[in-house]
Every structure is written in C-alpha cells, then in structure tokens.
Amino acid sequence: MAVSPLAPAAFPDLPVIEGVRLATVAAGVKYRNRDDVMLAVLDPGSVVAGVFTRSATRSAPVLDCQAKIGQESAAGAAILVNSGNSNAFTGAAGQASVDAICKAAAEATGLPAERIFTSSTGVIGQPLPHDRIIAKLDEVVSKVSRMELPNAAKAIMTTDTFPKGASRTITVDGKTVNIAGIAKGSGMIAPDMATMLVYVFTDARISRAALQAIVSEANARTFNNITVDSDTSTSDTLLMGATGASGVDVDGNADFAQAVEEVFRELAHLVVKDGEGATKFVTVNVTGAATDADARTHALSIANSPLVKTAIAGEDPNWGRIVMAVGKSGAAADRDRLTIRFGDILVAEKGWVSPDYREEQGAAVMKQPEISIDVDIGLGQGAATVWTCDLTHGYISINADYRS
Amino acid sequence: MAVSPLAPAAFPDLPVIEGVRLATVAAGVKYRNRDDVMLAVLDPGSVVAGVFTRSATRSAPVLDCQAKIGQESAAGAAILVNSGNSNAFTGAAGQASVDAICKAAAEATGLPAERIFTSSTGVIGQPLPHDRIIAKLDEVVSKVSRMELPNAAKAIMTTDTFPKGASRTITVDGKTVNIAGIAKGSGMIAPDMATMLVYVFTDARISRAALQAIVSEANARTFNNITVDSDTSTSDTLLMGATGASGVDVDGNADFAQAVEEVFRELAHLVVKDGEGATKFVTVNVTGAATDADARTHALSIANSPLVKTAIAGEDPNWGRIVMAVGKSGAAADRDRLTIRFGDILVAEKGWVSPDYREEQGAAVMKQPEISIDVDIGLGQGAATVWTCDLTHGYISINADYRS
C-alpha cells in the first residue's frame, strides 16, 4: 500500500529512555517475513499508567490490562504486543490465551504475571495462536536493548503505511527528562477494524497515581479528540511507563505534564495522517459554545460528517455542510449567531454567507494538505478542538473493495 | 445520473384523494426545462399535521411551517414546494422570502396566509429568487386538478434518481378511505445536503390533533429510523393533509393508523433505496436490548458505521464490524451474550463465531440486493428496526468528485 501523502519525511530521532529495554521478533502470528511481536521491559521501580477503549465489546487483552493497571508494584513491568490477530471476540479462549502468554512471559522475564501487560491487534474473531508467541519469548527477552523504539514502532504496525514516533526532552532543576513514544493507527486488516495502540516511556520519577492522572488528562485532550471514521476499536490501548532512571521527580511538575501532552498530540496527529485513504489533515476548532462539552459535540459532529469529509476530499469549501453538521449535533446552537472560517478566511457570519467572502478564497484554503475549520457558536465560552481526515475513494477501496 | 439499482420497476398507481388538487409548474428557480414548483390545495375543512427536522439550523420554511402547524382552521390549506433552492442559512432574507411567497399564495388561492405551508429544497446559503415562484402562482393555481400526484413527485426531486409514491386503501364500515403520498429523498444538489420532503394526503375525516398523533407516531417508527449517511438536513419536512371528503370518520381507528404507517414505511424505504450511491438495502433488527431506546442506539450505530457500510458494499459478511458497532454505541451490551445473524444464517453467538457458521453462507446473503442484519443483545426485551444502505464509491463520487 502506498505511504500516506500526509506522512512525515522520516521517522524522528527518539532519545534513549533509561530503564526501558525493547526488542522485536518474528513469531509468525499472521504475517510472514517481518517482526510481529514487541517486548518492552521496564526496570524495577517503574510505574505504569494506561487508558483503554470504552467499547462494550472490548478484547481480552484490554480487559486483562484494565484489571492490572491500578495495582502498585516495585517489581518492574513488561509490555508485550503482537500484530496480526487482535484476540477480540474470541469467547473464553481469549482470556485463556492472555493467561498463557502472561504466565510464559513472567517465567521468561522473571516478573510476576500481574506485571505483564499485553496488547493484540489484527484479525478479529479468530483464536490467537499464542503458542507461536510463547515459543519466541526466550529469544525476544534475550535481545532487549535500549535502542529499539524505531523497530518496535514497525513491529506493531498492521496496515499502517508508516511507523509513528514522537518525543520531548525537558529540563527540570538542571537535569534532563526524556519522553518518547510510538503508536500504530487506523490501518485496516480485513476483516478487522482499526485499532489504536500507543506506548510512551519516560525516565522521569513519578508516582503511579500522578502518572495516571497526567495520562488520563492528556489522553482526553489528544487521542480522545481524533476521529477517522467515528468507529471505535475493541482493542484501543495506551500504556505509559515511567522508569525513574533520570532521578528527577516530576510529581506536580507542569512542564512534564505539558511535554507528555505534546508527545500524545504529535502521535495522535500521526494516527490521523495515516487514516485510511486520508489526503487532508483537518483541525476543527469550535469556540463560543455554551459549554466545553457542547463544543466537543459540535466539533465531532463536523469531523464525523460524511458530507463534510467528502467535501474536503473534493477540495470544496462547502460551508453549508458545516452549518448542517452544527445543526444536527444536538448541542445548543443558534443559526443566526454562527461564524465559520476556513483557515483565515471568514466564510459565514450572522446566519448567512459573509458579504466579503468569495468562493475562490475558500477554494484556495481547501487545496492545502492541512486545513483548519473554525466555528464560533456565539453562545458562550465553551471550546474544543478535534482532528480528523477526509473521506475518499481510498477509504472505500480499503474497506469495501478487498474481500477478507 | 443513472437510476438507482434499487428503484422499483415503475411509479405506483395512486388513488385520487378527493378534496386535494395539485399542479406543477416550471418557475426556473434553478433548474431549466422541468417543473420545479408543486402546489397542493386542500378543500375547506381539511386538517394538516406535520413533523420537521430537529436541526438547530433549520431553514426558514421549516420554522414557518412549525409556527403554523398547530393552528386549528376550517379554511382549507395549501402546500407550496420548490426545488432548486432550500432557502436555508439565508439570514433574515430567508423569512422575508417565505413571507412574500405566503402572502402572494394567499392572494392567488383565496386562503389565509397562515394556511400556506411551504418547503424549499436545493442549494443552501443563496437567497431564494422568490419572485420567480410568485410570478407563476396564478398559473399553477389555475391548473390544479385531482390527478397530479405523479407529476408532483417529479417536481420536488433534486438529484433523486426516481420519483417516489405509495398508497393504501382501507375499508371502514363498508366505505373506502384512501391514503396516498409522495416523497423526495437523499438526492444531492451541490453544495447542499440531502433533504427529505414527504407529502401524504387522505380523504379520511379526522381531527387535527388525532392526525398529528398518528403522524408523529408513524414517523417515529419509519422516517426517523432510516439513515443514509447519518447527516441530518436543515429542511426535512413531512406534511399530511386529511380532507374528510370520504365522509368516513377515522378518529381512533387502528386500521387507519396502521395504513398511514405502512405508507410512511414504504416511502421511507424508497428514500433509502435512492440513497446516494446505494447498491444494497439493509434492514437492521436489534432485539434483546435492555430498552427500546438502547435497541435503537445499537441499530443506528450499526447502520451508520462506515466500516459496516463499506463491508456491505463489498459483499463482505464481516460480523466483526457488527460486534465493533455494538460495542461503540454506548448502549448496554455484553460481548458474551451477543447473537448475530445475516439473513437466516446464524453467524455469531456467545461471544464468538458460531461453530457451524461457514463464510460461504454469509457471503451468499451479502450478494443479495436486500439484506437483513439481526442482532440479539441478550439482555432484555428492547427492540428496534433501522433501515439503511451501503457506502460505496458512488457516494464519494456524488459528494466529493463533482465540485459545486
């Protein structure tokens, strides 16, 4: 599959995170001739936080992570991820596979089983051939090293068209703290649905509860505000590990929280830029709503509207569809107070097209690969930002033309 | 544009509704060489009921209809519809156009202005050239006759690929009561959005309040349960007029209410079958939900899911995407209690694919032009049915490839 036209020129240089060692291995879960299992081992004293899909039909690995994520432990931890099979909707066999993998990984790493966090992404509804993963555990454990994040970003890909990584380095009291993460996005592997997996590591020292609070808040502002096609995976997982190896305590440090959010946002944007068939990266800013929640409802209604997304694909400055999406969202709006901008161009205000607006202005904005749509509701102070992509023939081809 | 592959072979024979006279005329609002204005005149003593889009950015004609629909009057009524311009998001000029049209139509018909109901469908955000409509009012009034429903069905089309009509005739106490209606659907006229307009007439005698109750209930079970792309028009309007010309009182008559619902359902299905790019007509039945509302939430989540709709377009029996759509809906579900059927084929049960299911069975169902997806949630007695179509390259072409 062709690399997304929105892909960055190269995978970024990521800092080494002391206290985390990674390796990848080819277990042949489904793919051949590529690494499909990633292992990250975090040193004793590390804490792990996470957020997960809210789907009512979430996968066995997600349920297992959720049962473990709130536990305190000084024993270290491991994150084991396979691509090729999502172990979702696999009945009682699903949890049995997770249990078998965790037990074997605990033996191979010397960690307690309740410190093994697993994710699976790929085909749904087929039993996970967990023996293939277990057979490779000793090999992957023996290979772990500090420099493997780029390879890890590749091993977790399904039909992503490029690996995704981001990092920030901040200085706290004259000492360096590093944050680096990888993600996989909305690539599709028939007959499965898109799955978002995100793993972020830092050498900061922080309590589990404080890290969880930062992760939850940053997630709410980043990954929870992206949408490719409004469909929610059964397997979405974000895990963040803090090793403390820098010796720098960041509990309550706003710069650290900010840097985490920046890494999350950058990874979230990369997921959208690899959205199926995407040719445009779209930022929807809603201001002036009655509440922040209303603003998010409007923004998601715009970002998920097939008519808005196809207009963007056609480079059509179709502000009528923005009006429609605001109107249908269910959140408070007054037709005659709406203001709509494409980029810097004032398109509509006071319930009608702006008298100075000319179609060529909007059309010029729409030709750009990155587009912002700004809507002021005119009712209050509520604001929200959502990121999405366009809806193209490429999306239909990926999801309809090729049979499972 | 090619006629939808789901179109019926012919427009149906509709009974004459005594007390309603119709005509159409070419006013050149936007289209050339076709009738684009429809007038229906209802005799004195007729009652009118209606339901309208819930959009917060609804059009001026919708707001005007809503202000009038609850009033009692024995003066008769008129319904005046134009295609080519929706008079939506046109600021204060929008209501001024409606007022000018209603005033002129009142003079031309001899009816009070508050008994003139108007609808407009077509381009959004452009001032309605209402003078063109007003200039043709005397002509269209002079032409009204009892036999013009088929032409009316054509005059309200935008890019619908076929005109839509349906009827029922029932016998009450040995006398005949007729119900006949027309609709336009989700044809697209750039740069506008789909608009659904429905006009149904009957010669039954009934109070306004009783007719409104029947219309609201039937609408909730039919038009409110169809979705093409989850986008809601600013102009959706359904008006039903009862002339009483049959002399048959149907207040409280369950057969009449049932027949109205059947006409609504048939028209609603025709709207879906003319959905943009549609190649499959899909019935989503959800049973066993905790409540009826939960069942509808699940059914709409399935029917609106781009991944489900593209799978259907690809004739792919992709039950994993049904699981995903149930999981993301937000309504109560338990992965291990779901049962999924494609047509008569049991696909998945108890949290996993059915042991007897073979992919060829599901694939055979998916090749049909009309497909049912039945999901039992396994939690309670809630049930709902939603109708939709698939998501195809045709949808993208109509909405993205052709610039406004």
Q: Give per-residue pLDDT as tens, A128-172.
A: 999 999 999 999 999 999 888 999 999 998 878 899 999 999 999
Over residues A275-288, the mean pLDDT reads 94
Cα end-to-end distance, chain B, whole Å: 16
Share of chain A above pLDDT 90, in %: 72
pLDDT for position A187:
52
Binding-face residues of B in 20-59 toward A, CB within 8 A? 53-58
- In angstroms, the CA A126 to CA A97 distance is 12
DSSP state, residue A261: H
More confident residue, A220 or A41: A41
Residues of B in contact with A53 (CB under 8 A): 327
> Is the Cβ–Cβ distance between A63 and A99 less than 8 Å?
no
User: Is B85 a known ligand-binding residue?
Assistant: no
In one-letter notation, the amino acid at residue A32 is R
pLDDT for position A402:
54
B143-199 pLDDT, tens digit each: 999 888 999 999 988 878 899 999 999 999 999 999 999 998 865 433 344 578 889
CB-nearest to A55 from B53, B328, B338 is: B328
Q: Among B169, B146, B386, which residue's Cα sits nearest to residue B262? A: B169
Distances (CA, A) of A208 to A50, A204, A215, A242: 10, 12, 10, 9
By DSSP bridging, strand B175-184 and strand B116-123 are unpaired
B15-24 pLDDT, tens digit each: 999 999 999 9
CB contacts < 8 Å between A and B, how many? 228
Over residues B256-271, the mean pLDDT reads 94
Which of B90, B121, B161, B195 does the annotation list as catalytic?
B195
B175 reaches A (C-beta below 8 A): no
Active site residues per annotation of A? 195
What lies within 8 Å, CB to CB, of A167 at 6+ separation is: A12, A13, A14, A15, A178, A179, A180, A181, A263
A281 reaches B (C-beta below 8 A): no
> Is the Cβ–Cβ distance between B86 and B124 less than 8 Å?
yes
Over residues B312-326, the mean pLDDT reads 91
A8 reaches B (C-beta below 8 A): no
User: Is B184 a known ligand-binding residue?
Assistant: yes
Over residues A191-218, the mean pLDDT reads 86
Distances (CA, A) of B369 to A4, A112, B4, B5, B285: 34, 54, 12, 9, 17
Q: Among B185, B287, B195, which residue's Cα sits nearest to residue B234? A: B195
Which domains, ranges and CATH numbers included, belong to chain B? 20-273 (3.60.70.12), 281-401 (3.10.20.340)
pLDDT for position A397:
86
pLDDT for position A8:
93
Name the β-bridge partners of A180. Answer: A167, A201
CB-nearest to A392 from B194, B318, B400 is: B400
Note whether B89 contacts A190, CB cutoff 8 Å. Answer: no
In degrees and rounded to multiples of 5, residue B215 shows phi and psi of: -60, -45
Residues of A in contact with B397 (CB under 8 A): 393
Note whether A313 contacts B396, CB cutoff 8 Å. Answer: yes
A79 reaches B (C-beta below 8 A): no
Residues of A in contact with B54 (CB under 8 A): 328
pLDDT for position A125:
85
CB-nearest to A326 from B56, B351, B399 is: B56
Over residues A72-93, the mean pLDDT reads 92
A315 reaches B (C-beta below 8 A): yes
CB-nearest to B393 from A53, A327, A393 is: A393
pLDDT for position B125:
85
Alpha helices by DSSP H, A110-222: 130-134, 137-143, 149-155, 208-221
pLDDT for position B352:
87
What lies within 8 Å, CB to CB, of B121 at 6+ separation is: B81, B82, B83, B84, B86, B156, B158, B184, B189, B192, B195, B197, B235
A96 reaches B (C-beta below 8 A): no
Over residues A166-184, the mean pLDDT reads 94
Residues of B in contact with A391 (CB under 8 A): 306, 396, 400
Q: How does residue B396 score in pLDDT terms, banded at 50, 70 and 90?
A: confident
Q: Among A385, A355, A231, which residue's Cα sits nearest to residue B93? A: A355
User: Is A158 a known ligand-binding residue?
Assistant: yes
pLDDT for position B334:
92
- In angstroms, the CA A223 to CA B331 distance is 22
Buried b / exposed e over B276-285, threshold 16 CB at 10 Å, is bbbbbbbbbb
Whether A331 shows a pLDDT value over 70: the answer reads: yes
A327 reaches B (C-beta below 8 A): yes
Q: Which residue in chain B is spatially nearest to A328 when comparing CA positions?
A: B55
| Dihedral sign (CA A106, A111, A115, A118) | negative
B192 reaches A (C-beta below 8 A): yes
Whether A188 shows a pLDDT value over 60: the answer reads: no
Q: Smallest CA–CA separation between B21 and chain A, in Å? A: 34
User: Is A276 a known ligand-binding residue?
Assistant: yes
Beta-carbon count within 10 A of A385 CB: 19
DSSP state, residue B159: S
Q: Which residue in chain B is spatially nearest to A366 when comparing CA positions?
A: B403
Residues of A in contact with B311 (CB under 8 A): 191, 399-400
More confident residue, B104 or A231: B104
CB-nearest to A193 from B230, B307, B351 is: B307
Over residues A83-103, the mean pLDDT reads 93
A307 reaches B (C-beta below 8 A): yes
User: Is A169 a known ligand-binding residue?
Assistant: no
A358 reaches B (C-beta below 8 A): no
Distances (CA, A) of B317 to A289, B85, B336, B353: 42, 40, 20, 12
CA A48 to chain CA centroid, Å, is: 17
- In angstroms, the CA B356 to CA B345 distance is 10
B63 reaches A (C-beta below 8 A): no
Which strand ranges, in their side-by-side order, compose the sheet holding A370-376?
A226-227, A382-389, A281-289, A370-376, A339-342, A345-349, A352-353
- Mutate which of A86, A231, A329, A397 to test chain B, going by most B C-beta atoms within 10 A? A231
pLDDT for position B191:
34
Binding-face residues of A in 211-250 toward B, CB within 8 A? 229-234
pLDDT for position A385:
95
- In angstroms, the CA B369 to CA B389 distance is 10
